[in-house]
Amino acid sequence: MVLLIPAAPDPERVASFKGWHYAHRGLHRGEAPFENSIKAMEAAIAGGYGIETDVRLSADGAVFVFHDSKLDRLTHKTGVLSSHRAEELDSIELRGGNGPIPRLSAILSLVGDRAPLLIELKVDPGMVPKQLCVAVQRELAAVSHRAAIMSFDPRVSRWFAVHAPDIARGLVITESGRRLTHNVVTRHLAMRHARPDFLAYDIRDLPSRFAMRTRRRGFPLMTWTVRSEAEWSTARSYADAPIFEGQDTRSHG
């Protein structure tokens, strides 16, 4: 089983992403500021945090920072984000007066080299991720600061391993109580296919034998989403970097 885990990354390649506390979808407090808004990113930078965010494609291939597949929860519009062209999305406001849905290019420009950025590529069921990977790679090729990609879909990390190996890449994992043998095998096969530089693991699954074994082999372990005192304690014991929401009174990178 261990033989299915690929070789660990060069420690220097991922060193700058370790030791940080990452604000999940930016540093947000309900509607002021709102998740994945420019204001939430500014607040995270001001607090000295790294940033975790999510991206999706518009109908015409522009990359937008947005978590959900549908617009309904986060805006006053309805429908699927990917059915709208970029020009339409630019005019849609986030709830709470938090400005328009940001483009990834705007976030990259805002963050610059002031904080590391973890970019989760959202791949919906039945979606082929290549177009999103190509679009994100094109955006990242125009900047030189610390940004890594990650996804639940191992095809995303694999695409970057083959086509953009200079960009750090992660595999997002949740066990969701599935610790039977065939699910463990599935995780090993996903790891082998993805060829990631790090894992981003569900805090509810830690400690996990798979996660701990992989970490000991040299793969940094991020963990999401840390909210409670108990989860902070777990993150300190078993992970290299927490991705958190809410209050953080601990020292960070």
Q: Report the CATH number that the domain containing residue 62 is assigned in CATH.
A: 3.20.20.190
Determine the structural domain holding residue 53 and report its residue range. 15-244
Q: Are 114 and 82 in contact (CB under 8 A)?
A: no
- The predicted structure's pLDDT at residue 143: 86
The tens digit of pLDDT for each residue in 144-194 reads: 778 999 999 999 999 999 999 999 999 999 997 665 556 888 999 999 999
- The predicted structure's pLDDT at residue 1: 44
- pLDDT grade for 33, boundaries at 50, 70 and 90: confident
E strands, the chain, where? 22-24, 50-57, 63-65, 117-121, 147-151, 169-173, 198-202, 221-226, 241-244
The reply to whether 8 falls in a domain is no
The reply to whether 253 falls in a domain is no
Token couple for 206: 């830690």
The reply to whether 5 falls in a domain is no
pTM for the structure as a whole: 0.94
Residue 229 has pLDDT above 80, yes or no: yes
Mutual orientation of helices 130-141 and 154-163 as an angle, nearest 10°? 50
Residue type, 177: G
Which residues 6+ apart lie within 8 Å of 45 measured at CB?
51, 110, 111, 114, 115
Of all residues in the chain, the percent with pLDDT exceeding 90 is: 85
CA dihedral 42, 46, 50, 56 (to 10 degrees): 0
The reply to whether 113 falls in a domain is yes
- The predicted structure's pLDDT at residue 145: 77
The reply to whether 123 falls in a domain is yes
Distance (Å, whole) CA 99 – CA 144? 27
Average pLDDT, the chain: 93
The reply to whether 251 falls in a domain is no
- pLDDT grade for 226, boundaries at 50, 70 and 90: very high
Q: Are 81 and 93 in contact (CB under 8 A)?
A: no
The reply to whether 3 falls in a domain is no
Token couple for 74: 């986060």
The tens digit of pLDDT for each residue in 82-110 reads: 999 999 999 999 999 999 999 999 999 99
The reply to whether 115 falls in a domain is yes
